[in-house]
């Protein structure tokens, strides 16, 4: 810690008093501030607590020339107060707190309040500049004009995550102004083009590990070619809604982003099975693939089929979650491949029209260890699917069955075996009655959240039983949650 920062925590004094600690620096003695002793009526705190018959000794300063104004003014803020019994105590003003203590307090504030605290006084401003106050904070910026002072302030605070809300200047200003940037979010900046990204990424940025280009609809494979050259340490890449990305762009990603752990390709409609094969490294002659991938979102990639899932199961062996919602060409056969993946924990099949009870049988019989399963709005999922789930998917903690063709019979099956289930979404399952809720209330003691929106055949009797679950915190009955 710098010497100037240490000095801000000290009070000047002429001579040592009993019960205090003195610090010698540059030929001067300073009495350390000890507010924790202010209310202790012991012999060790004679200089802080005393009776009116024994007036306090005069306060002297050492005459140090290098002492900051913050420390020089502390003694004047310690005003003596007389109690009804005649005892005089010295109160400690909030400005007497160590800067490190202020910084710790400020770290718990919302981002806007951190900035407001810094405007109170110079002492609070200096404490607010501690990097610990801004750790993990993402700056959200409208970049309409040149702002070098803004970037200098971000660097001083140690801010390394930036979201650009609107951009009229070159993106290069951000990268130059915040040289140690770790996360850059350009989501929704529709004026971002290939030319802008090429001009911005003109050298290696080894600290940048997260890049979000979601809904940047002018971005094409050309940008990805430049990104993989200069952002080799990327671990998180979001391309959701970039409808001009093709299999060629995925080839670039598979070729050089070896550390990539999370990839979002939501609504990249031109991506097909070939692109997934590149990511999985099936054809090592073209690219080694992104074998470290842990999270893959393929939502609404409607050109994908079961062959893509075969590629995933072969190459992406460390995958923990996959989102296949709205992939209408995925069938039960594709789930055979996913059932073999021992690391897979989250599977989203929401609105996959060709997934049925048979697919659930494949998952259960294949030894799948998934803990989160979403088959909401899959019209072919019925009670038989719940029978299969109850016989094999014992690790489930989240199960979403909204709008599926299930009844009390199926609910009774999973209630008797899925004892660790914490979240159950069965909204819009119109065949459910109080009988199913009674079974849930009796068997699922670890349930924390349940969605019953649109279950028209349940009554207050069933709801009363559900609300008695010991760990239940959220009950959804409509467009709001009852907690």
Q: Is the pLDDT of residue 346 over 80?
A: yes
Q: Contacts from 436-442 at CB under 8 Å and sequence distance 24+?
A: 436/407, 436/408, 436/411, 436/412, 436/462, 437/462, 437/463, 437/465, 437/466, 438/462, 438/465, 439/408, 439/411, 439/412, 439/415, 440/411, 440/415, 440/466, 440/469, 441/465, 441/466, 441/468, 441/469, 442/415
From-to residues of CATH 3.80.10.10 in the chain: 136-330, 336-482
CA 328 to each of CA 215, 304, 321, 350, 385: distance values in angstroms, whole numbers, following the listed order: 22, 8, 19, 10, 19
Q: Is the pLDDT of residue 338 over 90?
A: yes
Tell the burial category of 470 from Cβ atoms under 10 Å away from its Cβ (0-12, 13-18, 19+).
exposed
More confident residue, 20 or 236: 236
Q: Do strands 321-323 and 295-297 pair parallel, antiparallel, or not at all (unpaired)?
A: parallel
Give exposure, 230-247, as e/b (b: 16+ Cβ within 10 Å).
bbeebbbbbbbbbbbbbb
Query: Nearest-5° angle of CA 79, CA 85, CA 88?
Result: 20
Which H or E run contains 234? Answer: none
- Identify the weakest region by mean pLDDT among 7-21, 82-96, 351-365, 448-462: 7-21
Give exposure, 252-273, as e/b (b: 16+ Cβ within 10 Å).
bbbbbbeebbbbbbbbbebbbb
The pLDDT of residue 88: 59
Whether 374 and 347 have beta carbons less than 8 Å apart is answered as yes
CA 5, 9, 11, 16 dihedral sign is: negative
Q: Is the pLDDT of residue 38 over 80?
A: no
Read off the pLDDT band of 79 (50, 70, 90). Answer: low
Domain 94-135, CATH among 1.10.10, 3.40.50, 1.20.1280, 3.30.565: 1.20.1280
Residue 316 has a CB neighbour count (10 Å cut-off) of 24
Read off the pLDDT band of 162 (50, 70, 90). Answer: very high
Read off the pLDDT band of 173 (50, 70, 90). Answer: confident
Q: Is the pLDDT of residue 410 over 60?
A: yes
The pLDDT of residue 372: 98
The pLDDT of residue 426: 97
Q: Contacts from 476-480 at CB under 8 Å and sequence distance 24+?
A: 476/427, 476/449, 476/450, 476/451, 476/452, 477/452, 477/453, 478/453, 479/453
Q: Name the token pair of 14.
A: 């002429």
Read off the pLDDT band of 11 (50, 70, 90). Answer: very low
Whether 373 and 347 have beta carbons less than 8 Å apart is answered as yes
More confident residue, 278 or 5: 278
Per-residue DSSP letter, 45? G
Query: Nearest-5° angle of CA 145, CA 150, CA 152?
Result: 130
Q: Is the pLDDT of residue 299 over 50?
A: yes
Determine the average pLDDT of the residues in 72-91: 57
The pLDDT of residue 91: 64
- Identify the weakest region by mean pLDDT among 25-39, 344-358, 382-396, 430-444: 25-39
User: What is the spatial distance between Cα 190 and Cα 325, in angstroms, rounded to a whole number?
Assistant: 25
User: What is the spatial distance between Cα 247 and Cα 245, in angstroms, rounded to a whole number?
Assistant: 7
Which H or E run contains 333? Answer: helix 332-339
Of all residues in the chain, the percent with pLDDT exceeding 70 is 80
The pLDDT of residue 81: 61
From-to residues of CATH 1.20.1280 in the chain: 94-135
Query: Nearest-5° angle of CA 21, CA 48, CA 4?
Result: 45
For the domain made up of 336-482, give the CATH fold: 3.80.10
CA 161, 166, 171, 176 dihedral sign is: negative
User: What is the spatial distance between Cα 157 and Cα 379, in angstroms, rounded to a whole number?
Assistant: 52
Domain 136-330, CATH among 3.40.50.970, 1.20.120.350, 3.80.10.10, 3.40.50.150: 3.80.10.10
Average pLDDT, the chain: 84
Q: Is the pLDDT of residue 329 over 70?
A: yes
């Amino acid at each position: 810690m710098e010497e100037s920062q240490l000095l801000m925590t000290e009070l000047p004094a002429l001579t040592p008093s009993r019960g205090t600690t003195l610090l010698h620096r540059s030929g001067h003695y300073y009495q350390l501030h000890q507010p924790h002793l202010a209310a202790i009526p012991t012999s060790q705190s004679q200089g802080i607590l005393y009776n009116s018959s024994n007036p306090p000794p005069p306060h002297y300063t050492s005459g140090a020339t290098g002492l900051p104004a913050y420390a020089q003014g502390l003694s004047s803020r310690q005003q003596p107060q007389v109690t009804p019994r005649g005892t005089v105590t010295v109160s400690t003003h909030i400005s007497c707190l160590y800067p490190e203590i202020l910084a710790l307090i400020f770290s718990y504030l919302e981002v806007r309040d951190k900035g407001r605290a810094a405007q109170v006084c110079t002492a609070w401003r200096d404490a607010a500049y501690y990097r610990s106050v801004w750790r993990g904070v993402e700056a959200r910026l409208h970049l309409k004009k040149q702002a070098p002072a803004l970037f200098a302030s971000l660097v001083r605070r140690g801010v390394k995550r930036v979201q650009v809300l609107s951009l009229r200047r070159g993106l290069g200003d951000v990268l130059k102004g915040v040289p140690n940037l770790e996360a850059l979010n350009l989501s929704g900046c529709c004026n971002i083009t290939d030319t802008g990204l090429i001009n911005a990424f003109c050298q290696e940025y080894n600290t940048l590990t997260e890049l979000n280009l979601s809904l940047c609809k002018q971005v094409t494979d050309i940008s990805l070619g430049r990104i993989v050259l200069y952002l080799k340490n990327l671990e998180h890449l979001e391309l959701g809604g970039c409808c001009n990305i093709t299999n060629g762009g995925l080839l670039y990603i598979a070729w050089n982003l070896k550390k990539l752990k999370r990839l979002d390709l939501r609504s990249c409609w031109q991506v097909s099975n070939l692109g997934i094969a590149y990511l999985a490294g099936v054809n090592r002659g073209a690219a080694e693939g992104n074998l470290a991938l842990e999270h893959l979102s393929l939502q609404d990639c409607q050109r994908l089929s079961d062959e893509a899932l075969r590629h995933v199961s072969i190459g992406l062996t460390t995958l923990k979650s996959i989102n296949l919602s709205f992939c209408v060409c995925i069938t039960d056969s594709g789930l055979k491949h996913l059932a073999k993946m021992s690391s897979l924990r989250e599977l989203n099949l929401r609105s996959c029209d060709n997934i049925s009870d048979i697919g659930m049988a494949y998952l259960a019989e294949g030894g799948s260890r998934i803990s989160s399963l979403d088959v909401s709005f899959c019209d072919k999922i019925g009670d038989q699917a719940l029978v299969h789930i109850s016989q094999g998917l014992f690790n489930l903690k989240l199960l979403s069955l909204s709008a599926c063709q299930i009844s009390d019979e199926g609910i009774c099956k999973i209630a008797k075996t899925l004892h660790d289930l914490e979240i159950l979404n069965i909204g819009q399952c119109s065949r459910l009655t109080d009988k199913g809720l009674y079974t849930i209330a009796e068997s699922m003691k670890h349930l924390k959240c349940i969605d019953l929106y649109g279950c028209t055949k349940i009554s207050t009797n069933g709801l009363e039983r559900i609300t008695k679950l010991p760990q239940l915190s959220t009950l959804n009955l409509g467009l709001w949650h009852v907690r």
